Structure 1
């Protein structure tokens, strides 16, 4: 079947709400490269939205999964558990930031991890309210949508949403929102909308993902930690897109030297196999009663085995250091491109291998340029690239290379991107 034929079949049977960015149907992948059913090759700057940090079909992950499948594929960790789940929980609690004793639970998706964090925080505090930030993304289930700070496309048509959810501005200096203004707005919430004694949790992405790859300033994260300690609020770190070496640390909160109370983990955890986790301080994690947390597929033995292999690869192949090297390579190349097109490239930024190119319409003021952003995405496949957009204004190209990507492939992909950008910007 061709790409065109498969797209026609897909349109007939899959709801339009679950659209696909590219009419490109993948036949195989190897590390940072993909090949479609028509035989076209692509350099993958998306990695399944930060999932395949260890590249596509890493041989060690494939071998581990095959070995597990020869034994058994499912028993439910809540019925008949298995050693791989215990070992993975041990390793994740050891890898999480901070020195507090920690425990873990396993679920299947990032949205589930977010929702379980709220459940745990409410059980621990006996409080109802949760505060999130404008532009944040926390998932597509009902509570996670309520926490998400952007209407279209994530919340449009899907209300009503749960109550007791509040939003504060996220500090983005280039958008005119300072740390002081964001914290002042948070304090105002305590005076106007919900008393601090009614707030169970504050949830924050250390680098906003769908919101535009804006890193939370370290000073801001430390201030959140102080306010949570002062008011008895649980601080939730949403590390779903930032975890597992992506930002040049195992978890992005480490850049600020801040220990959160609870951490959501997913995406890069298992090389493409569906598993997610919540890791947090033991006394908080143990607040729900037995049976209050879990799910049928959470902690799949196949996914646990894959995740253990991913952690081993990150360590053995020094992928945390590699994330910083790739981030520097991309930043240098994209900054040179910015020097050529100062009118349309508003900003180049990265934290490790979480890299953003923000597009505007003026060199002297911030005017978002979502039109150019969408044109780049629409034409990327024709140039042998897989790219993603993001941003509160839809004006950011995000680069999420596999941490196993070679310099040669990275530079080849950036050469392709520069040619595409030059054609559309000239």
Structure 2
């Protein structure tokens, strides 16, 4: 009998509420029944069945689950984090879909939109009938979003939007985009239906990471928008950056799900794989690797749960989100790489989840703040000195 579980070596779930446990178990069951049998094929074929999954995800309340009203479940931040962990144990592309939908597309409409915008878009997005995306990153504006070139100017009571956004999750499949653009007033957010004339959606191909995810480019060529397309509740970079903080919170939980899945696969494999007359799980070097992975994952889970409790109490700082995102993605990558060594040549096969999670996490390390940017955010918070310029 084993004394520790590879799923949760330090019994984090023992200090979770009944609701949090129930949500995690529900999401884990969904991933097992609807995702795990097929996700390796989706990854290999570079496709993500968003339309097939969106409605079931909405049915169990996962889309915008941490938001209040308009068909959203209104769960705690910690419950949302635990759901992200279970989703990413399936695949980072699945968690990204839910994260972009809820934290990057629905959150700004809920936080900064008019009552009319909320009523028009949020119920359909919560149910999975409508898919959203978030347009901030540009070909020449990644880590420095304030240098964006996409711009909107007034033409009578309308707005005219021009520019390009790239590396947009859900971009090729979205029904609506929340797009951030420069204006004479400062950076503004616009709610843009994707069928609007002059709006083109292009899919990005040839990815070797996040292959089970729809990634695209959004092109705006004199897109005419009515006055009520603009989000009235925010002006400036505070708007898009607050959305990114919401999404990064999901990542600091989610990445650990990818790491956990690789760890569980390695433990199971090592128990079955026999060399030199016994399972390789019985060798000292393999057990040392398992111990290191368990410590890393347990530390990451403890940090994530603590940050979740801070967020639920209204005390979480953006710099603390950076600590969680930077640390836990690094942890997950190292766990996946170590798990790959235990599986040997089988570690690069899609018959096992390890290489899929490992390559996905290379993207997770970069998006929504590279590790360099998060390190500088933390450094500034510790020293009071900005190293960005």
Band of TM-score, shorter chain: under 0.3
The structure where helix makes up a greater share of residues is: 2
TM-score w.r.t. the length of structure 1 is 0.25
Greater relative contact order structure (CA < 8 Å, 6+ sep): 1
TM-score w.r.t. the length of structure 2 is 0.26
